[in-house]
Amino acid sequence: MHQSLQLNRRFKLFRDLSRIDDGHAVLGSTSDDQPGDTVMTEGQVEQAQQFGQVTVPSWWSVLEHHSRLLVAAIDMATHHIEWTSDRFRQLVGMVDIPPSLGDAVLKRLSADDQLWVRERIRRHILNAILTERYGRRDLLPSRWLHETLIVSVSPLAGDLARFVEFTVSSDQLQLCTLEPAVRAALDRCWPQPPSASEVLQQLQDPHSSLQAVLQLLNPQTYTASGIVLIEGMDVSDREVTQRLIHLLLDRESILQPRRFLQANLLLKRLFRATDSFILTAEDNTAVLYLDLHEPEWTTHPLPADCLQESALSTAAAEGTVLNLKDLSAPCLSACEPMLRQRGAKSLLILPLVVKSARLQDSPKLLGVVGVMSDQPDAFDAIDEHNGQTLAPALTIAMRQSVNERFIHIHESVRWRFEEEAERRSLGLPPAPITFRDVYPLYGISDIRGSSNERNRAIQQDLLTQFRLALTIAQAVCEATQTAFAEQFRHDLQVTIEQLQRGITVDAEITLLRYLQDNLEAHFDFFNTCGKQVQAAIAAYEAAKDDEHDCVYDARSLYDQTVQHINLSLRSTWQRWQRTMQQVSPHYCDIESTDGIDHMIYAGRAIDQRFSPFHLRSLRYEQLRAVCDCARTGFRLKAEHATEMDITHLVLVQDSTVDITHDESTERLFDVRGTRDTRYEIVKKRIDKALDATTHDRITQPGCLTLVYSTNEEWEEYQEYLRYLQREGWVGTDIEQGVVEPLQGVTGLKFARVTVLAAPTQKEDASPSINASLNNHKAEV
C-alpha cells in the first residue's frame, strides 16, 4: 500500500507540475478543469510543489521537456491518458495540446497495435485480479507483465512512420469491482489456489481457461484504481535495419527491380538518402545501376580498370564503409561524375566483399551498394556503423541474385546454367538458356480411383464427427428440454442419414462450417448444462485433429496411403534413373500428385556423344522402369488393401523439340516454338484419353499403354515389347486401337500390354544396363 501511495503521489506530482508555468498554475487535480479555474498565487504555487513531503527537484524540467523517453500515465479509474511527456506529444504530433491527451493518441496507431496496447494493460489488470483473489503478488511472471511491444506510429506531414518500443508498468493496481461472468471464468481455471507454475502453464496455452479470462477483461467488466505507466523509446533506425536485413536474406533474390523497391525504400529511409545505386565490378567489367526505384533500372557499363586505382575500390576491397562527404572534390572513379549529374553531393559506399575459404586468396569484391544525398556531409559515424551492419546481408543478397535461380539444377544441364551465372556475374545482360533438337520421353504412373477413395474417407470422417455431435445434442436436450434443441438434434439425425447415402462435392466444407456455426459456437453455454454434456463435448474435441480442427482419421490414412504410393513409385523410378544416366546424361523432371509423371529430354545439346544408339537404349530403359513401377504398384495394392489401382502410360514421339529456360515460370524448361505445341497438348490430355471403339480408358490397371502416331514409331516400340516379353516383364498379348480425337489433336493410336508380376523365385530384377545393351546389340 505504501508503494501504491507513492506512485499515486508521483503521478499527481507529474500532472500538476505540468500545469505550473512561470510561477503560476491552474488549481485542480483532474483533467476536466474548466477555463475559469482559479489562478494560484505565488504562495500557493510553493505549496503545490510539495506532496507527501516530496519536494520538486531542480532537474524536473529537464526530465519533462528534454528526456528521450516517451512517457504516458493512465488513470485506471477513468481509463484516460492523464499525463504525457513532451517527447511523447512530439511523437504523436500533439505538441500544442496539454499533457492530458485522453484516448486521442491511440488514433495514431493501427487497429492491431491499439489492440496490443490494450492487451498489455489487461495483463496488469489480471495481475491485480489474481493478487486480490489469491493473496499473492508473484503468480504472474514479471517478464510476461513487462514484455516489450513495438508499435508503428502513423507518419505526420513531412515525416515518416516511427517505430516505438513500449513497456507497461503498474504499481499494485487496486481492483474495485469485477463482473460475475469474469469471476465464474476464473473459477474454471483452477479448483484450488494455483502455483506460479500452474499459472504460467495456462498462460502458454492459447486455448486455456485463463486466456478466456483475459479476453473478458474490458472497462465494462471491471473497475480499478491506480496508475499504469507506459514508457517507450523511438527505435525506428533499429527496426528499419532489422527489417531490411530480413528482406535481404530472403531466399528469393532481392536485387531485382521488382523486389528491390521495398529494400530501396528502407535503405533511403535509414540513411536519410535522396537516391541509391548499385555498382558491380568483377573481372574486366563494371556496371553502374541507377534509377533503382523504377521497374526497369538504368545500366551504365564501365571499364573495370578505371576503378582499380581509386580510393573507392581500395576501401571496398578492405571491407570498410566509405563516407564521401563532398563530391566537389577530385573524382575518385569514373562513376562519381555521373552521380553528381543526378544531384549527389555526398555518398556513403557499402562494400560487398566475399572472403575466400582459402587463406592465401584475397577477398573478392562483388561490388558496392551506395546511397547519396543532395546535401554535402550528409552522413555521419552512426550511418557508417549502420552501413557496416548491413554490408554482410547485402553481400549475401548480391550473391543470391546471380546464383539462386541456378541452384537445384539437374546435373545433366547444370554446366549451361553455370555458364550463364558466370556471364551475369560479369554484368552482362541475360541470355536465353536453350537446348535445341532434344528427344522427349514422357511417361506417367497414375493412381486410379483416388477421388472415390478420398470421398469415402471424407464420408467416414463426417459421419464420425456428426455422430459425436448428435451425442452432444441428445445430452443437451435431456438437460434443457427445449424445442429448439430437439429440432437441432433432428437436423443432425437427418444429415447423418444423408451422409450414409453419399456425399456431395461441397460437403467437406459446408458440413464442417455447419457444425462450427451451430454446435461449436455454443460450447460455452453447453458446458454449463451438466457433466453428461461436458463429457460429450470432451469426446467430440478429443476426436478432432489439431491441425485440421475436425475429425481427420480416415482422410489421414488416405493421405498417408497416397503419399506412400507416390514415394514408392518415385523411389523405384529414381533407382532406374541412375542406370539411365549411365547410358547418356539427360534431363529428367519428376512430379508427384496422384501418382508420378516423368519428363526426359535427351540429345546432343545435353550430351555431346549422344547417338541414335543411346536414344534407343534410353527408350528401352524407360519401358523397363515403368514396368518395374507397375510391379511396385502390385505390391502396394496388396500392402494397403486399397481399391485404388495404378495405370501406366508412355507417350512416343520420334521428332525432336527445343526447350528453353523461362525465368518467369515455375518450371525449369518449356518447349519452344509452334511445332512443339502439339506434343505439350497431348501430354496434358492423354491420361484421360478413350478408346475410339469401346470408349473405355486406354490406360488400364496393371497394364503398360504406349501412345504413338506413326507406323515407324510402332515398329520401333514393337521391337522393345519383344525384348520385354523375353525378359519376363510383360505378357505376349498386345491390344491395339485408335485414340478418340483430343481437343486439337487427332490420329493417335495405342498399344496395351499386361505387366507381369515379379517372378516368385528371387531373381535380379534390379536395373541392369548390361541386360539392356546386350539385348539391343543382339538385334542390331
pLDDT digits (tens, 9 = 90+) for 509-557: 899 999 999 999 999 999 999 999 999 999 999 999 988 889 999 999 9
Enter the DSSP assignment of 375: S
- The CA distance from 731 to 755, in Å, is 6
- The CA distance from 518 to 502, in Å, is 22
- The CA distance from 37 to 57, in Å, is 26
Give me the residues of the chain with pLDDT under 50, please.
1-11, 13, 15-53, 251, 356-361, 402-408, 425, 761-766, 768-780
Residue 664 is predicted with a pLDDT of 52
Distances (CA, A) of 532 to 29, 464, 536, 537: 57, 19, 6, 9
DSSP E strands in 3-133: the ranges are: 50-51, 54-55, 70-75, 80-84
Which cell numbers hold the place of 523?
Answer: 460450447
Using alpha carbons, select from 33, 28, 32 the residue that is nearest to residue 12. 28
Distances (CA, A) of 585 to 110, 407, 411, 413: 57, 18, 8, 9
Sequential DSSP letters for 182-199 = HHHHHHTT-SSPPPHHHH
Residue 254 is predicted with a pLDDT of 56
Give the 3-state DSSP-derived string for 189-239, with helices as H, strands as E and coil as C: CCCCCCCHHHHHHHHCCCCCHHHHHHHHCCCCCEEEECEEEEEEEECHHHH
The residue written with cell numbers 499386361 in the block is: 754
Residue 406 is predicted with a pLDDT of 42
Three-state DSSP class for residue 206: coil
Distances (CA, A) of 565 to 455, 458, 570, 590, 593: 18, 20, 8, 14, 10
Using alpha carbons, select from 537, 553, 550 the residue that is nearest to residue 507. 550
Residue 138 is predicted with a pLDDT of 87
Contact 439, 601 (CB under 8 A): yes
Q: Is 578 exposed, middle or buried (0-12, 13-18, 19+ CB in 10 A)?
A: exposed
346-354 and 364-373 strand pairing: antiparallel
Three-state DSSP class for residue 289: strand
Q: Which residues contact 387 (CB under 8 A, 6 or more apart)?
A: 271, 321, 348, 350
Q: Which residues contact 672 (CB under 8 A, 6 or more apart)?
A: 434, 657, 658, 659, 660
Q: Which residues contact 159 (CB under 8 A, 6 or more apart)?
A: none
Enter the DSSP assignment of 85: -
Residue 661 is predicted with a pLDDT of 77
- The CA distance from 18 to 26, in Å, is 10
The string of pLDDT tens digits covering residues 194-218 is 998 898 888 888 888 898 888 899 8
How many DSSP H helices and E strands does the chain contain? 26, 24
Question: Which residues partner with 434 through β-bridges?
Answer: 660
- The CA distance from 648 to 633, in Å, is 10
- In sequence order, which ranges of 441-530 are alpha helices (DSSP H)? 450-480, 483-501, 507-518, 523-526
Among positive and negative, which fits the CA dihedral 106, 108, 113, 115?
Answer: positive
